Structure 1
Amino acid sequence: TYSAGRAGELASIGLAENLKELGFKVGRLNTCTPPRIDRRTIDSSKMKEQKSADIPLSFSFENKGKIYKDFSVFMTRTNQKTHQIIQDNIHRVPLSNGTIQSAAIRYCPSVEDKIIRFPEKESHQIFLEPEGYNTEEIYLQGFFTSLPADAQQKALHTIEGLENCKIIRYGYAIEYDIMYPNQLKYSLETKAIKGLFLAGQVNGTSGYEEAAEQGLLAGINAVQLTRGKELLILDRSEAYIAVEIDDLVTKSVTEPYRLRTGLAEYRLLLRQDNADLRLTPYGYKMGLISEQRYKKFLKKKTLVENEKERLKEVIVHATQKVNELLNKLGTTPLSEAVNLAALLTRPEVTYNQTVSIDPNRQELPAEVTEQVEIQIKYAGYIKRQEIQVKRFKKLENYKIPKNIDYFNMHGISHEGKERFSEVQPISLGQAKRISGITPSDIAALMINIEKIKRVKRV
């Protein structure tokens, strides 16, 4: 082992030492990377091809149509020979032999870890992903490893299609410093030092989207702070990035944090199709969205609402034509008239399939009709979650005064006092989400806060 950054970059040990000197609590986590291999040395004819999507999805709502060349991904699998080589060399792996003892990422295990944890599995998937248009490097998704170089080469050569592959860059393990994120505010500014923002893997997350999105939010708030303007603070019902930041700030980390849909209790509202409806107003307010784009967004929003209302007024009668269509779609015929919005709540019926019984329908953009259909079809579930969000907001709006001495409060458990003092929650909602906090701690906290508020009013 030796000191270095990723892929041969310089180490940042001095940064961690500096943070320690400033009084921050720091720790160590680890991860590993897959080898990169030369595309020209792969026999893809032995692998399963996965082609690019015909209708691709984009992160941006501004992208229309296909904006990239088709790139196939190929899938192959490890086998018993591969596993035997890995097992024979497991004592040489720093994550297994004790050289590295910090916590590794749970939801992105190394190939060695998969073989140890799942010995009953005869093989594991490997996806060969191109690194880009202008390179021959292939990323071996699913083969994260810290095996020595000779063992990596030997193991890969046992895999179908990789018998003659050439490694361009070997996989490696890296142990790195983090600052425990419960020392941050929701803006990603540190609690201890005004104006110091931290974002990325340093806050205990993975180095993927979890790190990148922090940079966006911290950058926005750093600029807003220098301008003396309102900071961008989102809550758990508004965006996945808010779920992540709340988890980091409130619960801290014991292993590299990965954001999963299961961590978002309001995930039905946090869909990819409505990201613009949720976040464009914030982007415009912060100066990140142009006037032209914002007007376009408002037009879409208006078209969606108008079409939803129109469909409620379109009456569909139980005619032969209508029932023939419904039979064809595999759903129950009508016995009485209903509005078209009610008909669209049926799982078998889509918006586009009802055009023949809706003669006055105007042509609308696909992004509008998609949103209309989703909001109508899942209205009951969405409304139920919105009621849950109202309860959540009530707790979030119950603010806790700053600089409270929790150890002088009565009725709170000793652990509760320690946890509250460490996290310094800003709301009752956040206080409830702190690990180790009991309902009685929350009840006692509310009583103490009300006493403080009464004293201040007097």
Structure 2
Amino acid sequence: MRFDYDVIVVGAGHAGCEAAAAAANLGSRTLLITMDMNKIAQMSCNPAVGGIAKGQIVREIDAMGGFMGIVTDRTAIQFRMLNRSKGPAMWSPRAQSDRARFIETWRHVLENTPNLWMWQDSVNELIIENGRVCGVKTGMQVEFRAGAVVLTNGTFLNGLMHIGRTQIRGGRISEPASTGLTEQLVSLGIRSSRMKTGTPVRIDSRSVHFEDLVEQPGENDFHKFSYLDTSHRELKQLCCWTCFTNERVHEILREGLPDSPLYNGQIKSIGPRYCPSIETKIVTFADKTQHQLFLEPEGENTHELYLNGFSSSLPLQIQLRALQAIPAFRDVQIYRPGYAIEYDFFDPTQLNHNLETKQIKNLFFAGQINGTTGYEEAGGQGLVAGINAHINCHGGNPFVLGRDEAYIGVLIDDLVTKGVDEPYRMFTSRAEYRILLRQDDADMRLTEKSYQLGLANEYRYHLLQEKKEQRDQLIHFCENYSVKPQYINAGLESLGTAPLAHGCKLFDLVLRPQLDLYKLADLIPALKAELDKVSLSRKEEIIEAAEILMKYSGYIKREQMIADKINRLENIRIKGKFDYNSIQSLSTEARQKLCRIDPETIAQASRIPGISPSDINILLVLMGR
């Protein structure tokens, strides 16, 4: 049998869900194919969303009209804003979610999205005609045709799990691997390699001695992920806990190293540098006598706990003995051990910035298939791939986000320009314009772009306009309201800041680190009246946005000037204009890498590792000719 769609998305993980929802909401007839409809948006590892830089990506997904932020808010059982001790460019939201509710909520979203259908099956083959993807063939021998296909296969392509010397084929525990696609793509000239990731043991809370753990409560202020005026904290809020390994734990772990797949030659692929297994930690940091662990709830109504920091592929008996050497886990019972998993990915330098493969027209890759790690990185890629799959079917210019516009733009540019030699994880340090890419203003950066595309709806756009108007009114008031010393000096001294020698604008007082708008409102009735005008349901969010813009206005303006200068190079397009092999004045490394990546612009070329400033100058001179 044959069925026709505009867009087919293969895989219903975090990338696949965002891709399918975006394509369908833009108007494409979309089919989402998954091997298990009960595992849609499964949180394969930690049941948490966000974190350093990752939280910014989730806010960007939401600002664009995606759903990861909405689903997380509805299923959160703990919320925290990380990095509060640093400036707002570093603030990063993070939430623990109820794993089962997260799946249930995502499935509800997808099943109630117009133009979106689902099919439970495996995809074993792509239909390629004249260098263009035209559909897929499934394990049930069903043929689905489409104008574009998005592959979001996660860890399922030839997935192989390791627990000690035991090997199990699968994409996740108790779930089969996907075969056939890698082999077909390699035969078509697409380069593939292997990566490794892992997950920790799952613990039964009834066996834990919580008196030996340090409680880590969440926060309950106005912060959340979605910019929509939605209800907040629907589920019961739960605690996390912390503890440490000890030297006895490390001794037991070392005993198991000869049977560790990471050290006996069983695993040959590269794992994540920034989320290492516990056995990697004790080898790499041999001088450390302890490592911190985080015990996190899996849901509102389950005894299952996730032990963050104890990812492992060691034999079961070693994992269990090591855990029992930690006081809180001396009587521990577990649901399943930690395991490592190897899987296929494809070199992302084979992609354009719209995430379409260079070799096959209308075929898009998103998520771990591109060598990334993390739900958030996958969701951001999925959103962009879904948008561009729709555009390829219906016409329009590719949708690409710049490095000064979004962390998603940084992520994709890093992938297609630099490639990966280990699982890619987003950090604030990867973004050269992170003052412009704050979590508080993702809607200001991206919602209008998405609205012009037709993805962000009218209600979301109206909320943005309302927020912007009220934020700017507040800033305008502070810039123009005069403050006299005799009326405020006593209050300023009580707040630990210097009195005024002469009058100034309220804006100048906001810049002081000891002061904020709420403290100043207690001293200045006119400011309090101005704050009272702000929409009650979003009052704190709007006031915070105004205050950040004022306090950091100098830094923001300076960074925007730098971004504008660099963007001039982004406008010098060089794709298809040079035969790099014939330019002998370029270094050999530059010729090789420019041929392989074929950058779109001079700016992208300058970010390719190994391309020197002199190579860029040569290209600029040739462009001048």
Q: TM-score range by the shorter chain?
A: over 0.9
Q: Where in structure 1 are there 5+ consecutive unaligned residues?
A: 452-458
Tell me if structure 2 keeps the 8 A contact 1:410–1:448: no
Match for residue 430 of structure 2? Answer: 263
Match for residue 26 of structure 1? Answer: 192
Computed over aligned residues only, the root mean square deviation of the Cα atoms, in angstroms, reads: 1.4
Tell me if structure 1 keeps the 8 A contact 2:580–2:595: yes
Q: Secondary structure at the match of 2:363?
A: coil
Which range is displaced more, 60-69 or 126-135? 60-69
Q: Where in structure 2 are there 5+ consecutive unaligned residues?
A: 1-166
Instruction: Quote the offset at 1:133 in angstroms.
Output: 2.3
Match for residue 309 of structure 1? Answer: 476
Taking the aligned partners of 1:296 and 1:25, their CA distance within structure 2 comes to: 45
Q: What amino acid is the match of 1:352?
A: Y
Match for residue 57 of structure 1? Answer: 223
Match of 1:388 among 562, 566, 570: 562
Q: How many residues align?
A: 450
Which range is displaced more, 280-289 or 139-148? 280-289
Tell me if structure 2 keeps the 8 A contact 1:409–1:448: no
Which range is displaced more, 418-427 or 8-17? 8-17
Match for residue 45 of structure 1? Answer: 211
Residue 591 of structure 2 corresponds to residue 417 of structure 1: yes
Tell me if structure 2 keeps the 8 A contact 1:312–1:339: yes
Give 4+ residue runs of structure 1 displaced > 3 Å after superposition: none
Residue 603 of structure 2 corresponds to residue 429 of structure 1: yes
Taking the aligned partners of 1:282 and 1:149, their CA distance within structure 2 comes to: 50
Taking the aligned partners of 1:171 and 1:233, their CA distance within structure 2 comes to: 38
Q: What amino acid is the match of 1:214?
A: Q
Taking the aligned partners of 2:297 and 2:276, their CA distance within structure 1 comes to: 21
Q: Secondary structure at the match of 1:323?
A: helix
Q: Secondary structure at the match of 2:327?
A: coil
Taking the aligned partners of 1:306 and 1:359, their CA distance within structure 2 comes to: 14
Taking the aligned partners of 1:281 and 1:178, their CA distance within structure 2 comes to: 34
Instruction: Quote the offset at 1:79 in angstroms.
Output: 1.2
User: Over residues 293-332 of structure 1, what are the superposed CA-to-partner deviations in whole Å (9 max), with x where a residue is unaligned?
Assistant: 211210110111122112111000111x310011011111
Q: Secondary structure at the match of 1:245?
A: helix
Taking the aligned partners of 2:305 and 2:250, their CA distance within structure 1 comes to: 22
Structure with larger RCO (C-alpha < 8 A, sep 6+): 2
- Please show how residues 19-418 of structure 1 align to structure 2 within 5 Å: 19-55=185-221, 57-62=223-228, 63-319=230-486, 321-355=487-521, 356-359=523-526, 361-362=529-530, 363=532, 364=534, 365-402=539-576, 404-418=578-592
Tell me if structure 2 keeps the 8 A contact 1:317–1:337: yes
Which range is displaced more, 335-344 or 8-17? 8-17
Q: Secondary structure at the match of 1:126?
A: strand
Instruction: Quote the offset at 1:56 in angstroms.
Output: 5.8
Which range is displaced more, 2-11 or 434-443? 2-11
Taking the aligned partners of 2:368 and 2:303, their CA distance within structure 1 comes to: 28
Tell me if structure 2 keeps the 8 A contact 1:77–1:160: no
Which range is displaced more, 361-370 or 292-301? 361-370
Taking the aligned partners of 1:247 and 1:267, their CA distance within structure 2 comes to: 15
Match for residue 181 of structure 2? Answer: 15
TM-score, length basis structure 1: 0.95
Tell me if structure 1 keeps the 8 A contact 2:222–2:540: no
Taking the aligned partners of 2:294 and 2:191, their CA distance within structure 1 comes to: 38
Q: Secondary structure at the match of 2:369?
A: helix
Which range is displaced more, 164-173 or 237-246? 164-173
Identity of aligned residues (%): 43
Taking the aligned partners of 1:172 and 1:46, their CA distance within structure 2 comes to: 26
Q: Secondary structure at the match of 1:334?
A: coil
Residue 612 of structure 2 corresponds to residue 446 of structure 1: no
Structure (1 or 2) with the greater strand fraction: 2
Tell me if structure 1 keeps the 8 A contact 2:374–2:425: no
Instruction: Quote the offset at 1:433 in angstroms.
Output: 0.2
Which range is displaced more, 83-92 or 2-11? 2-11
Tell me if structure 1 keeps the 8 A contact 2:244–2:291: yes
Instruction: Quote the offset at 1:135 in angstroms.
Output: 2.9
Q: Which has the larger radius of gyration?
A: 1
After superposition, the Cα gap between the structure-2 partners of 1:266 and 1:350, relative to the gap in structure 1 and judged at 3 Å, is same
Taking the aligned partners of 1:308 and 1:221, their CA distance within structure 2 comes to: 37
